[in-house]
Amino acid sequence: METDLETAGARAGPVVVEDPRMAGLVEPGTSVRRLGGDATWSEGPVHLPAEDAVLWSDIPGNRILRWDERTATVSVERTDVEFTNGRTLDLQGRVVACSHGRRGLERTEPDGTTHLLVDSWRGVRFNSPNDVVVRSDGTIWFTDPAYGIVQAHEGHPGEREYGDHYVFRFDPATGDVRPVVIDVEEPNGLAFSPDEALLYVSDTAAALGRWGASNHHIRVYDVRDGSLCKNGRLFAEISPGLADGFRVDVHGNVWTSSEDSVQVYGPDGVRLGRIPVPEPVGNLCFGGPDRSVLYIAATTGLYRFPTRTTGCSPLDLA
Ligand code: MG
């Protein structure tokens, strides 16, 4: 039976081309397709290649949901998950996820067990890790805004123990934890360029009512020696809405969430076009057999959009 949102999905409209480069990335006239879901706020999708499935977070629902391409069904993967948020795959294909409730990163092993990887730096706890990426050297980079400790429906109320909001780099091989970006008010989404020479970080402080000159934006940094971010500068201003989460394709284009669509930016920061989505978008990932399918976690559910490009992966460099 078609739901209201499926009807709305049909009304979301086809892709909007704003720069000729967009036509090379998408099939003109294509629209998103709603796959399903009954979430309150969807975040953190990751595609599992071996299962051709997508896991994503319903943060306020404190659940992980699952979409199976083979059976075309949505199911509940786990409940009482301590408010997981963003997730990605490490170089071994294991799921690494951010946990608001545990104030750390966790990893799911091949046998299905999930355990905490790291939750503190210099003896104080993180705030509420939000989104995570893995570099080709195996290090894990994540943002640490305060949403999970200042909003009771997304975690457990708590203190900012180091008094700020940083992006951290964690090396699971050595246990080393270090801040790599310290000048973003509420860092949220993050992604590397295909060659890992650049790190993109969004600021979503506007989500807490603090609309300002730079807090609904994506910033970009030069990555030096694999562990130092320098020369931070504005990459793009997202409007309407926020760059809660985003991914980069193999050509260096940035595909980001916003209030009403997935927006696509060229490596030069020029907006190339938009993919309308009928609900505010939380996050997205590339997946499918050849990493060309865009999976979009948007408020209540998961959407799918075919592209003509490929999501970049640390495995391309590892
Ligand atoms: Mg986020």
Residue 10 pLDDT exceeds 50 = no
Å from CA of 83 to ligand 1 middle: 12
Å from CA of 76 to ligand 1 middle: 21
Categorize the per-residue pLDDT at 207 as very low, low, confident or very high, splitting at 50, 70 and 90: confident
Å from CA of 245 to ligand 1 middle: 5
Give the three-state DSSP class for 273.
Answer: strand
Residue 4 pLDDT exceeds 60 = no
Rg of the chain over Cα atoms, rounded to whole angstroms, equals 18
What CATH number does the domain containing 189 carry? 2.120.10.30
Distance separating alpha carbons of residues 240 and 52, to the nearest angstrom: 32
Query: Percent of the chain, pLDDT > 90?
Result: 92
How many domains are contained in the chain? 1
- Using alpha carbons, select from 49, 87, 14 the residue that is nearest to residue 283: 87
Using the 8-state DSSP alphabet, how is residue 146 labeled? S
Tell me, what's the pLDDT at 296?
Answer: 98
* Comparison of pLDDT for 6 and 38, the residue scoring more: 38
Å from CA of 12 to ligand 1 middle: 23
Å from CA of 1 to ligand 1 middle: 31
Å from CA of 86 to ligand 1 middle: 6
Distance separating alpha carbons of residues 48 and 46, to the nearest angstrom: 7
* Comparison of pLDDT for 46 and 206, the residue scoring more: 46
Å from CA of 109 to ligand 1 middle: 23
- Strands in 33-36's sheet, in edge-to-edge order, are 33-36, 301-306, 293-298, 283-287
Tell me, what's the pLDDT at 212?
Answer: 61
What is the extent of the structural domain holding 168? 4-316
Å from CA of 143 to ligand 1 middle: 9
Å from CA of 202 to ligand 1 middle: 9
Asked if residues 317 and 291 have their Cβ atoms less than 8 Å apart, the reply is no
Å from CA of 294 to ligand 1 middle: 17
Å from CA of 43 to ligand 1 middle: 7
Å from CA of 92 to ligand 1 middle: 23
Å from CA of 242 to ligand 1 middle: 10
Asked if residues 306 and 240 have their Cβ atoms less than 8 Å apart, the reply is no
Q: What is the mean pLDDT of the chain?
A: 94
- Using alpha carbons, select from 305, 308, 312, 317 the residue that is nearest to residue 14: 305
Quick: pLDDT tens for 263-299: 999 999 999 999 999 999 999 999 999 999 999 999 9
Å from CA of 145 to ligand 1 middle: 9
Categorize the per-residue pLDDT at 52 as very low, low, confident or very high, splitting at 50, 70 and 90: very high
CA triple 36-142-292, angle to 5 deg: 45
Quick: pLDDT tens for 165-186: 999 999 999 999 999 999 999 9
**Out of 82-91, 160-169, 200-209, 299-308, least confident range:** 200-209
Tell me, what's the pLDDT at 92?
Answer: 97
φ, ψ (nearest 5 deg) of residue 178:
-150, 145
Å from CA of 148 to ligand 1 middle: 11
Asked if residues 167 and 177 have their Cβ atoms less than 8 Å apart, the reply is no
Å from CA of 226 to ligand 1 middle: 23
Tell me, what's the pLDDT at 1?
Answer: 35
Tell me, what's the pLDDT at 316?
Answer: 93
Quick: pLDDT tens for 115-153: 999 999 999 999 999 999 999 999 999 999 999 999 989
Tell me, what's the pLDDT at 218?
Answer: 97
Tell me, what's the pLDDT at 205?
Answer: 87
Tell me, what's the pLDDT at 213?
Answer: 57
Give the three-state DSSP class for 218.
Answer: strand
Quick: pLDDT tens for 91-121: 999 999 999 999 999 999 999 999 999 999 9
Tell me, what's the pLDDT at 268?
Answer: 98
- Using alpha carbons, select from 190, 228, 232 the residue that is nearest to residue 44: 190
Using the 8-state DSSP alphabet, how is residue 142 labeled? E
Å from CA of 244 to ligand 1 middle: 4
Residue 5 pLDDT exceeds 70 = no
Å from CA of 2 to ligand 1 middle: 29
Å from CA of 30 to ligand 1 middle: 26
Residue 12 pLDDT exceeds 70 = yes
pTM comes to 0.95
Å from CA of 120 to ligand 1 middle: 20
Å from CA of 314 to ligand 1 middle: 20
Residue 204 is which amino acid? T
Give the three-state DSSP class for 206.
Answer: helix
